[in-house]
Structure 1
Amino acid sequence: MDTINGIPAHPLFVHLAVVAIPLAALLAGVGAVWPSARRRLGIVPLLVATIALVVTPLTTSAGEALQQKTAPNPDLVRHAELGDQMIAWVATLFTLTVLWWAAHDERILARVPRRPSAQVSRTITVILAVAIVIVAVGTLVMVVLVGDAGARSVWLH
């Protein structure tokens, strides 16, 4: 999808991406380190991470189409490269969010025939929490880097 109503689709999708991706990272991170927030948030982090997972490749695909119609410059090349990397960050955040949700949702745990011991469960929780925080921070950094390169490619060239 190159255009929407005659306007390049990339800048339109970017608006959704720059909301959904950081929000997914923040919700996942908060839910991982704050148990009462995790209970209140419920499935919301997973839903937002799903939106981020869908919108990211749409944004990069529309960006690649727009890149073909734009004069090349080093910032645009960097923006495109970082945008491609963003897909992996968001996919990893989504995967960890799914695992976190599955490990803490009683409806899912009730279907597990043999639950892990309390110690194993705590270990899984700590490992997932650390991984989520690391990936959430990395994802937020990537949003800034991708956005900065994109802005530079438009406004400085």
Structure 2
Amino acid sequence: MSLVNGLPAHVLLVHFVVVLVPLTALALVVCAVWPAAARRMGLVLPVLALVTLVSVPLTTGAGEWLEKHVGSSALVRQHAELGDGLLPWALGLFVLAAAVWWTTRRSAAQQDGARSGSVIRIAATVLSLAVAAGAVVDVYRIGDSGAKAAWQDGYSKTATGSADGDG
């Protein structure tokens, strides 16, 4: 995918990633910490994580196309390198979302309070917190580098006038 309505697809797709990764991370942490929320969300949690996972390679693929159509700079290369590192985080979100969904579903069916189930839930909660934090920080770093690559020297720090008569 290269262009959508005349715009580089990456510029549009990146908004899905910027919204979906933190949203999935938040939902994952809430469901891992609060089993009642996981039961209420049900299959929505792993489906959300799957949509997030699919959106990452679509966005990076479109970004690779865009990288070939803009001037190369250190900022663009840094952004591309950081962007390539998001897929493992998205995969981690998906795997943990599926695990939290599965363990919540399993524990609701058993109602035993088995010791092994609580150990798995604790491990899933700790891993969910770590992966969610890592994914959100990575999205921030990627977005920051992308904004710098796109806007570095692309605007004036002082107002140059305005089309609506403010300046």
Q: Which runs of 5+ in 2 are unaligned?
A: 154-167
1:3 to partner: Cα distance: 1.1
Answering whether residue 132 of structure 2 is matched by residue 127 of structure 1, we say no
1:45 lines up with 2:41 in the alignment: no
1:28 is aligned to 28
Residues 27-57 of structure 1: per-residue CA shift (max 9 Å, x gap): 0011111222222222222121111011000
Q: Distance in 2 between matches of 1:153 and 1:33?
A: 37
Q: Any conservation in 2 of the 1:86–1:142 contact (CA below 8 Å)?
A: yes
CA shift, 1:129, in A, is 0.8
Measured in 2, the distance between the counterparts of 1:33 and 1:46 equals 16
Alignment pair present for 1:144 and 2:144 = no
Q: Which amino acid aligns with 1:37?
A: A
Gaps of 5+ in 1: 111-115
Q: What SS does the aligned partner of 1:71 have? A: coil
**SS state at 2:61 partner:** helix
Mapped partners of 2:44, 2:28: distance in 1: 9
Cα distance in 2 between the residues matched to 1:117 and 1:134: 25
* Aligned match for 2:152, one of 125, 133, 156: 156
Please tell me whether the aligned partners of residues 56 and 87 of structure 2 are also in contact (alpha carbons under 8 angstroms): yes
Q: Identify the range of structure 1 (94-103 vs 132-141) with the bigger mean alpha-carbon deviation.
A: 94-103
Normalised to the residue count of structure 2, the TM-score between the two structures is 0.85
Q: Given the superposition, is the C-alpha separation of residues 59 and 11 from structure 1 closer, same or farther in structure 2, using an over 3 Å criterion?
A: same
- Residue 6 of structure 1: how far off its partner (Å): 2.2
Q: Is the partner of 2:71 in helix, strand or coil? A: coil
Q: What are the within-5 Å matches in structure 2 for residues 3-14 of structure 1?
A: 3-14=3-14
Specify the SS of the correspondent of 1:72.
Answer: coil
Structure index of larger Rg: 2
Aligned counterpart, 1:55:
55
Q: How many residues align?
A: 152
Q: Percent identity?
A: 39
- Are 1:22 and 1:140, in contact at CA under 8 Å, matched by a contact in 2? yes
Please, what TM-score do these two structures have when normalized by structure 1? 0.90
Are 1:102 and 2:102 matched, yes or no? yes
Please tell me whether the aligned partners of residues 86 and 139 of structure 1 are also in contact (alpha carbons under 8 angstroms): yes
Contact 2:26 2:132 in 1 (8 A): yes
